[in-house]
Amino acid sequence: MESGRDKNSVSWLKKIPKPVGIGIFYAVCLLVGVVIVLHNNPLAPDPHTEELKKFCACALLALACIIFGVYYDRMFIIPRELIQSRELIWKLAKNDFKKRYAGSYLGFVWALVQPVVTVLMYWIVFDVVFNTRSEMVSSGVEVPYVLFLTAGLVPWFYFSEAITNGTNALLEYSYLVKKVVFNISILPIIKLIAATFIHVFFVAVLILVSVIYGYYPTLYTLQVVYYSFCLFVLVLAMSYCTCAVVIFFRDLAQIINIGLQVGMWATPILWNIGMIGDDRFVTLLKLNPLVYIVNGYRNAIYGDEWFFEHFYSSTYFWIFTVTLFCIGSLIFKRLKVHFADVL
């Protein structure tokens, strides 16, 4: 049952008239579009690439405006439900985390063993055996490879675990999906929050590794919180798409597993994007939003750049993520009425 406080926390969303809400969104998009068009990067190597970036960003803005205007009434349903059920979400997320390792002697330690072993394996193969240090230095990497590798693997571990668990959320909690009174839209975010508990530990390990190699925390390190939030919202947007579709197309889970294997190598985690000499190919790779996340973690740990200094990358990421969240919300709400029948 909803408490009075929960109702008041979302009542302001219901009070906004539809024309005003759409007008505010359009005004914000217009302002962002103007800033994108007028922005000038004096260090840009290729003016044609800069024009392509501006075109892609404006095209995504236009798509977001169309979706928001047409499906305005459905856009706020899931955000309202998440805010309304925030206390229940927190309780279920903690229970999910405890249940995952119940009955095991080492408990959640097993969640830490595999990623640590993976980091050690990649470090031994690429740094010790094949000695890729010279290639990394020539591509602009001046930090120890194990630090470079760990800063890339920590967000990737979270992404792979969160998207896998988020995709299977409705299947795992099928008994709740069949309950008429239960708000099933909170299930994907429960799995993501449970995965975040482990991620916090690995961020602490990452900072410890950086300290061991002489890279002490600075103000830039605070950006880890920002990039973790970016990653959380991105995975949440993807999960609403995948968890709804996988109920009707079970093979999607296997496709995602294959996609994660490909994505591991398509994202500059084990290698540096500076190794690629073709600027056009680099621009194409940066369309992958995880490139923004991985580079952001590295900047936060041992770099000296703020996220807003990467204007196009930050703008593109948020336009892409917000648009994806809108699409995911629409897919979830459209298929929601058929979940119980299929399960």
In single-letter form, the type of residue at position 49 comes to T
Report yes or no on 66 lying in a domain.
no
pLDDT at 130: 61
Least confident of 138-142, 201-205, 322-326: 138-142
**Residue 26: inside a domain, yes or no?**
no
Distance between CA 159 and CA 233 in Å, rounded?
11
Overall average pLDDT of the 71-98 stretch: 82
Local confidence band at 159 (pLDDT 50, 70, 90 cut-offs)? very high
Q: What is the DSSP string of 143-191?
A: S-HHHHHHHHHHHHHHHHHHHHHHHTHHHHTHHHHT-TTS-GGGHHHHH
100-109, Cβ contacts within 8 angstroms, sequence gap of 24 or more: 100/194, 108/198
Lowest-pLDDT range of 25-39, 77-91, 97-111, 159-173: 97-111
42: in domain? no
Q: How far apart are CA 143 and CA 133, in angstroms?
A: 10
Residues 6+ apart with CB under 8 A from 234: 159, 289, 290, 293, 317, 321, 324
Residue 223 has pLDDT above 50, yes or no: yes
Q: Position 118: which residue type?
A: T
Task: Give domain status of residue 2, yes or no.
Answer: no
Q: Look at residue 174 and tell me whether its pLDDT is greater than 80.
A: yes
**pLDDT, position 1:** 42
CA distance 293 to 314: 10
pLDDT at 277 over 90: no
- Is residue 138 assigned to a domain? yes
What's the burial of 121, exposed, middle or buried (CB within 10 Å: 0-12/13-18/19+)? exposed
Diameter over CA atoms, the chain: 63
Mean pLDDT value across the chain? 83
Of the two residues 266 and 128, the one the predictor is more confident about is 266
Q: Would residue 15 count as lying in a domain?
A: no
Number of independent structural domains in the chain: 1
Residue 238 has pLDDT above 90, yes or no: yes
**According to the model, what pLDDT value does residue 127 have?**
66
The residue range of the domain holding 286 is: 85-342
Secondary structure of residue 235 in the 3-state scheme: helix
- Asked whether residue 243 carries a pLDDT value surpassing 90, the answer given is yes
Residue 240 has pLDDT above 80, yes or no: yes
| Residue linked to tokens 């648009």 | 323
In a domain, 5, yes or no: no
- Least confident residue range of 11-25, 53-67, 88-102, 215-229: 11-25
Of the spans 82-86, 136-140, 212-216, 250-254, which averages the highest pLDDT?
A: 250-254
pLDDT at 164: 94
Mean pLDDT for 130-135 is: 60
Can you give the pLDDT at residue 128? 67
Look at residue 76 and tell me if it is in a domain: no
Integer Cα distance of 5 and 84 in angstroms: 9
